[in-house]
């Protein structure tokens, strides 16, 4: 193992983190590499909010299935043990969809955290 010599190289050469990170293999390398990538990461800023999609899909599903339930003939109801399962499932899905849309409205996506320099809280999160 030449790990020890790699370590001294790395501390002498902090300007080439990518290079040394792929040879040094210590926790410090991973920490630095990942922290650097976290700094450039675009997910937090650009990824849409999944609540909008869940809400939208379940409102659509809920409306369709509820309408089916309202227009179901006796055969469909008899099949489901006398329960209008389309109506109940439809209403349930509609409520779930509306819940997600309401949650999104009441607690909108937090604005992306401003870039923090490496010295401040590396875990991310909004800075005060």
Partner 1 sequence: MHTPTQTPTNSPTLLAAELRLPTNWLDYTLLGIYFVVVLGIGFAARRSVKTSLDFFLSGRSLPAWVTGLAFISANLAATEILGMAANSAQYGAYTVHWYWIGAIPAMVFLGLVMMPFYYGSKVRSVPEFLLLRFDKGAHLLSSILFAFAAILIAGVNLYALAIVVEALLGWPQWVAIVVAGFFVLAYITLGGLSSAIYNEVLQFFVILAALIPITVLSLKKVGGWDGLSDKLTQTHGDDFVTAWGGTGIGEANPLGANWLTIVLGLGFVLSFGYWTTNFAEVQRALSAKNLSAAQRTPLIAAFPKIFIVFLVMIPGLAAAALIPGFGTKESGYQYNDAIPYLMEGLLPNGVLGIAVTGLLAAFMAGMAANVSSFNTVFTTDIWAKYVVTDREDGYYVRFGRLITAIGVLASIGTAFLASSFSNIMSYLQTLFSFFNVPMFVVFIVGMFWKRASMKSGFWGLLAGTTAAMVNYFVFYKQDIISIPSDQGANFVSAIAGFVAGGVVMVAVSLFTAPKPTEELQGLVYGTRSPGMAEPPAPGDEAWYRKPALLGWGAIVLAAACYIPFSF
Q: Can you tell me which of 14, 114, 119, 123 binds partner 1, judged by CB under 8 A?
A: 123
83 near partner 1, rule: CB under 8 A: yes
Report the nearest approach of partner 1 to the CB of residue 15 (Å).
15
Considering only the C-alpha atoms of the chain, give the largest distance between any 2 of them, rounded to a whole number of Å.
81
* 77: phi then psi, degrees, rounded to nearest 5: -70, -40
In the chain, DSSP finds a helix count (H) and a strand count (E) of 7, 0
What token pair was written down for 78? 């008899």
Residues at the site binding partner 1, with contacts judged by CB under 8 A:
1, 18-19, 22-23, 25-27, 30-31, 34-35, 37-38, 40-48, 50, 53-54, 57-58, 60-61, 64-65, 68-69, 72, 75-77, 79-81, 83, 85-86, 88-90, 92-93, 96, 121-126, 128
């Amino acid at each position: 193992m030449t790990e020890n010599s790699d370590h001294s190289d790395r501390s002498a050469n902090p300007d080439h983190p990518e290079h040394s990170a792929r040879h040094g293999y210590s926790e410090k390398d991973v920490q630095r590499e990942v922290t650097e990538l976290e700094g450039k990461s675009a997910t937090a800023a650009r990824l849409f909010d999944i609540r909008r999609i869940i809400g939208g899909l379940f409102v659509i599903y809920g409306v369709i299935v509820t309408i089916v339930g309202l227009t179901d003939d006796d055969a469909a109801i008899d099949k489901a043990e006398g329960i209008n399962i389309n109506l109940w499932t439809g209403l349930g899905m509609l409520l779930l969809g509306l819940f997600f849309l309401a949650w999104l409205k009441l607690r909108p996506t937090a604005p992306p955290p401003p870039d923090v320099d490496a010295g401040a809280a590396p875990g991310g999160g909004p800075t005060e």
